[in-house]
Structure 1
Amino acid sequence: MSIPAPFRNAVSQSLFAGVVVYQPFNMPCIEGADISFLEQLSDRLYGDFGPFDPDQMSVATAILAGASQLSFDPEGRVMLPAELKEFAGIDGQATFVGIGRKFQIWAPDAYKLHREEQMTLAAQKAPTLPAFGGGPQK
């Protein structure tokens, strides 16, 4: 899969020239980020829960244990692990979706349905979110 240039440029400052991908436990896609995002997640899991907390262990196992570090080739591509492509139903084309500090890779039809669902939820939830900049809501 070719990783879009803006994301490659953003992660080029990282110590690892590539991305880390993993199977999210709540959506049928592949999620990924630069190595620092996963390191921060790991630090938070251990800091917030402690190393022997069962909640920490479940999230660490679900995300961190199955994560794969993928190096960029000279054209900015990575080879997605077969088990992740199978999990996400990706066979051929894929949709790359940037979502802030991380990204998702979807089977195109699955993403179309997911996006429609998310737009409906966003329309319902957006009015209840805190105002940007910490000011009062309108």
Structure 2
Amino acid sequence: MAVFLSTFANRIDKKGRVSVPATFRAALEQERSGGVILYPSFKHPCLEGCGDERIEQIAESIDALDAFSEEAENLQTILADSVRLTIDGDGRIMLPKDLADFAGMGETAMFVGLGKSFQVWEPAAFDAHRNAARQRARDKGATLRIVKPSDGGGR
């Protein structure tokens, strides 16, 4: 699976097009994704983004839940609200207005790499979120145990 890293601020043009960062496009190509998948975040005022491999993992994880449970029903909205966007020849996607409105985006979209997925934020909202997350990590003395990567078939 490809890895999404770094943070990029890209301008949204008047037609709603925004350039997907080149490293994100390369990661999507590496996993042979058919474009970008975006959906509204459950936790934050932003969009969650991924490629085909990750959305398939999400669908399989939801399918593993009790089919008629409230938890499954809640999480199925991820799939219902997901939009697959094609990347044009200039590396841009057409950002749907309802998704841009959900995330409060104006003229700029902040692409934030999260490893196996990414988020798209309104820049000021992301700055506030990042600062709060860093403060929580400092306050709690956050640590990270490094695990060996799983065998991804030679990737």
What range is the shorter-chain TM-score in?
A: 0.7 to 0.9
Cα offset for 1:117? 0.5
Post-superposition offset of 1:50? 2.6
Q: Which runs of 5+ in 2 are unaligned?
A: 1-17, 149-155
Identify the structure with bigger relative contact order (alpha carbons < 8 Å, sequence gap 6+).
Answer: 2
Aligned sequence identity (%): 36
For residues 94 and 22 of structure 2, the distance between their equivalents in structure 1, rounded to whole angstroms, comes to 16
Counterpart of 1:53, as a letter, is: S
Q: How does 1:84-95 map to 2 (within 5 A)?
A: 84-95=99-110
TM-superposed CA distance for 1:126, in Å, is: 4.7
In structure 2, what residue type is equivalent to 1:34? G
Does the residue aligned with 1:58 lie in a helix, a strand or coil?
Answer: helix
1:75 aligned onto 2:90: yes
Change (3 A) 1:130 1:45: same
Give the distance between the partners of 1:123 and 1:101, measured in 2 at CA. Answer: 24
* CA shift digits 1:61-118 (9 cap, x unpaired): 2x11100000100011111110010011101112111111111111111111111001
More strand by share: 2
> Secondary structure of the residue that 2:108 maps to in structure 1?
coil
What TM-score, normalized to structure 2?
A: 0.78
1:101 aligns to what? 116
TM-score norm. by structure 1 comes to 0.87
Shifted more, 20-29 versus 10-19: the winner is 10-19
Alignment of 1:1-138 (within 5 A): 1-47=18-64, 49-61=65-77, 63-127=78-142, 129=143, 131-133=145-147
Larger proportion of helix: 1
Q: Which runs of 5+ in 1 are unaligned?
A: none
- Secondary structure at the residue paired with 1:65? helix
